[in-house]
Structure 1
Amino acid sequence: MLISDNIYYCKNCKKVVPSIEDLLFVEDGSNLSFCSEACIEKFYSPLIDYFAGKIEKKRKDLNIVDEAALEALENPTFVDRVLHKPDEIWRLENDLKEEIFTFISKVNHNGEDIHLMALCFVFNHTPSFVLALTATSNDYFVQDFQVGEEVESLEDYHREIEDNSILDPEDFELIELKKSKLLAEMMTHRKEFDIPFEDFSLYMDYLRPTIETYDELYEFKDEDGDEAFAYFKAFEKSGVSFFYIALCTRIEKGEQSLIVPIISFPTIDGDLSNSYKAGKLIDGNKLAH
């Protein structure tokens, strides 16, 4: 047979592998998979560079570029502690439901209390890939890592999500498949001048008002033939006008009908915004194209 359902490939080098067991995963709830550690590092290198730049700038602002606490990063016991027995765990999620976890541990190094901080992806309740690792004795610097929501443990957090959701694993799998398709399509059509992907987390607060007080709402069939919705709302941030777009699907659970966001994002590109105004305008005044 020339092709089959069981085709797996590395999302970085595109190498085809014979089995899903030959792939490596680093993020819970994501189908991004890789054939080797080298491909993982290459794929995420822009994100690593981004956080390295942010940390460097903050250190310069606080005048702690060469602080002695950085020597603690050479101690494997300290590093193992922050990754596997942290004192604090913080979770930050963007509108695409992508998660980054911050692990923080307090240790005594050369008679001084310092903190180690690690930004990580998590897979199967454990840190799977470290995006940034640093140490400091500066409390203000530590506070920059204490963002999002604090969770007691990774196991308890994921158990709480499962217990509180009326969606079942099949629903989550469907959502992830749709998200992958829509995200790939959106990233393909984005233009260089548009809002950078890494800044999407700065627009998280616009999702709720977009859905609750939209300017336009379109109904259409997605490529799977399922009922889908596109919500549009115009905003202004720092003197720049933009559209926020939320693409959703309907999931029926017994007597309940749920509108579930799949992806959402900001854009200053009118062409990109208009490309999602397909199907039937079911509510709102049609904005000028």
Structure 2
Amino acid sequence: MEIELKLLLTQVDRNELVSALKQAGRTKSDQTHFLVNRYFDTPELTLRHLDVGLRVRQKGEHREQTVKTAGSSDTGVHRRPEYNVDIDGDWPDLALFPVEVWQGEEVAALQQALTEQFATNFRRHALELELAGGTLLEVALDCGEVLASGKSEVIDELELELIRGDLGEALQLASRLAERFNLRLGQASKAARGYRLAGLSPQPPLQAEQPQDLASGLAGWQCNEHHLMLGTQGALEALVAQFSGLSQQLFDREPALAVRLAALGQGLMDAPDPRERLAQVMATTAYGQTQLALLALLPEFQGE
């Protein structure tokens, strides 16, 4: 099971970030690689419909095929079962994975129908970091691009993957980093971004209703933030609804955080160009700190 916290970076000095990470714990390994990742599916997107991601990753001369099956990634914490197998060539061999991965689909037919759909190529600075409480993390600082259908999107993100220990300790590390660096929670995986860029998967729908709980509000925040940056009609009102709903839920429990959320929404409503205003606030430490403070209030981080 892969469990990781994904953080998107905005105008961050990567050398300073690596230095801060190394100061946060004991560095057990420190490596830099260029990774070439090719993602596969059938023309009918059978794997996508099964909620299965399939890739072949090349690192130097080494190649590894990976499948990630259905999991969750609603708030920036990503949980997905993952299977990895070393291979010799550039094309995946589905028979090397456990048969239950394919959920009753005929493996030979899937194999014959596979085609490459998109790629994600990036330089990864990887650290294995042991924190003071004993939690061990695989830290990945990725910089590169998603490539699909002649188009590209930038990859600039930090992943904190739990190897052992307490995910809450990883969140504490992220919160300390957010005091110095412009970062925010990332909801979409690289594979999800690739499918969307290739035109093979729709954008997630706007979350227009006020949230019923903190988790749905945080997920709606990230979804509607994405839509506002895309210029989707109604995105401003939908995003402000998330801020308003979260603020109301937190008014008695965390009044300072509630005020901060309400101010974010009001600032967007008052701005001549809400999209430009959102870009400005995303390039501040306060934005990520607010998201992480909200994430820390979810039951899974409160021992509930």
Report the TM-score range of the alignment, normalised by the length of the smaller protein.
Answer: under 0.3
Q: Larger Cα Rg: Structure 1 or Structure 2?
A: 1
Q: TM-score, structure 2 length as denominator?
A: 0.26
**Higher RCO, Cα 8 Å, sep 6+:** 2
